[in-house]
Amino acid sequence: MRELELYFGPQHLGMVGNFSITLKVEGDRILKADANPGYLHRGFEKLIEQRTWMQNFPLVCRINVVEPDHMELIYSMGVEKLAGIEVPERGKFIRSIYCELARVGSHLFGLWAYSNMLGFDTVANWAMYHRDLVLDLFEELTGARVYHIYIRPGGVRRDFPEGFEDKIVKTLHTIGSKVPDYNATFFENRLFEKRAKNIGKITCEEAKKMGAVGQAIRATGMKYDIRKIEPYAAYDKVDWKVPTREDGDAYSRILVIRDEMIESVYMIFKLLDKMPKKGDVYTKTPNPFKWRVPAGEAYVRCESSRGELGLYIVSDGGDKPYRAHFRTPSYSHGLTILEKVLEGESIADVGNIMMSLYVVAPEIDR
């Protein structure tokens, strides 16, 4: 059969997001894949060097469009470490609750993209509706639906409004009561099992070699989770489990995502119970126009909904960062693992594998 080159770009129906892959195919089989990012390169890391420490928030939250919250968190953690700022107890709990809500929202968005691409439109509509309910919570809390800019160095911008805890519980009960329906129509659906089982398989050893984090490595049986390894915010204050699977294929990755969502919901309930009822939510920081952060460097990491998210930040003692470099989970997933895993698979599974690896293009390009 003849060998052809196929440009699998953002205009292709099987592609989700602004990302492209050049495929060498023979019939329906992929011989070689060449990932080609850059559609969303906005040079944020360069722009960050030209803005003051506080001015950078609108930039960092746009690095990952789907879940800006962890981006705010990681940048705040970096600045806090450089400047030696402590977060008050209640602020830590609010951060954790906020980030877990963001994880639920982001996983629902991922579920929308994945099920929509496989043709499960009903599930896609449910997921989008439930994500909207989470966004309603964010809107009440922060005033914005997508880019919240709620976390700031030293804590969070403001306290929960009155009765907000009850609203969180109510929304999560609404979403949680739909889990059996999700299971019946999607996760335990035989059509979906046939489509996702034994697709895009990686073993634990391969995953380690290629720098996998997040669901990609937890689906191979390793409990690698930064929230447990290096607890930040209030994750060490409550008891929770890290869901894992054994097979390392697309199906187990999606099931890990589902289990994680459920675990997040339980975790939010526990965090709400344990949260101190009163107290400051932020520490005062200097005037943002005159704020000079002491010279030094820091590497901070947290667990975003896609895996280990890191920030290497350097200050030269000025009013702007000297250098900031984000280690985003999609980078290794989308450029190293995707290229390797696609070899030998069929064209119809490109989007399937890419979404199961949970690749988000803006995170790669930055």
Partner 1 sequence: MKSLKKKLESSFSDIKINITDDSRITVNIKKDAVVSILNFLKNLGYEHLALISCIDWIEENEFELVYILSAYMEKDQEYNEKEKKTILVKTRISREESKFITVINIFENAEPYERELHELFGINFEGHPRLTPLFLERDYKIPPFRKDFDTRKYVKDVFDKIPSIEERKK
Which residues in this chain contact partner 1 in the complex, by CB under 8 A?
37-38, 41, 43, 45-46, 50, 81, 204, 208-211, 217, 220-224, 228-230, 297, 299, 301, 308, 310, 312, 314, 322-323, 325, 327, 331-332, 335-336, 365
CB of 70 to partner 1, least distance (A): 16
Least CB distance from residue 145 to partner 1, whole Å? 29
Are 153 and 83 contacting, i.e. CB atoms less than 8 angstroms apart? yes
Q: Which is nearer to partner 1, 234 or 275 (CB)?
A: 234
* Minimal distance, residue 236 CB to partner 1, in Å: 11
- Sequence-distant (6+) residues with CB within 8 A of 320 are 48, 49, 50, 51, 52, 53
Residue whose CB is less far from partner 1, 262 or 335: 335
Q: How far is the CB of 210 from partner 1 (least distance, A)?
A: 5
Shorter beta-carbon distance to partner 1: residue 46 or 194 = 46
Exposed, middle or buried: residue 329 (CB in 10 Å: 0-12, 13-18, 19+)? buried
Residue 336 per-residue DSSP state: I
Residues 6+ apart with CB under 8 A from 199: 249, 250, 251, 345, 349, 352, 353, 356
Of residues 228 and 258, the one with the C-beta less far from partner 1: 228
Hey, which residues does 303 pair with through a beta bridge?
A: 308
How far is Cα 197 from Cα 267, in angstroms, rounded to an integer?
A: 29
Shorter beta-carbon distance to partner 1: residue 35 or 254: 35
Least CB distance from residue 332 to partner 1, whole Å? 5
Q: Which residue has the tokens 């559609």?
A: 39
Query: Cβ(300)–Cβ(64) under 8 Å?
Result: no
Shorter beta-carbon distance to partner 1: residue 155 or 248: 248
CA gap 210, 334 in Å, rounded: 11
Minimal distance in Å, beta carbon 325 to partner 1? Answer: 4
For partner 1, the closer of residues 37 and 91 by Cβ is 37
CA distance 234 to 319: 30
| Maximum C-alpha span of the chain | 71
Give the span between the Cα atoms of 73 and 231, in whole angstroms.
13
Q: How far is the CB of 310 from partner 1 (least distance, A)?
A: 6
Cβ proximity to partner 1: between 37 and 68 the closer is 37
Token representation of residue 320: 């702007």
- Three-state secondary-structure class, residue 311: strand
Q: What's the closest the beta carbon of residue 19 comes to partner 1, in angstroms?
A: 12
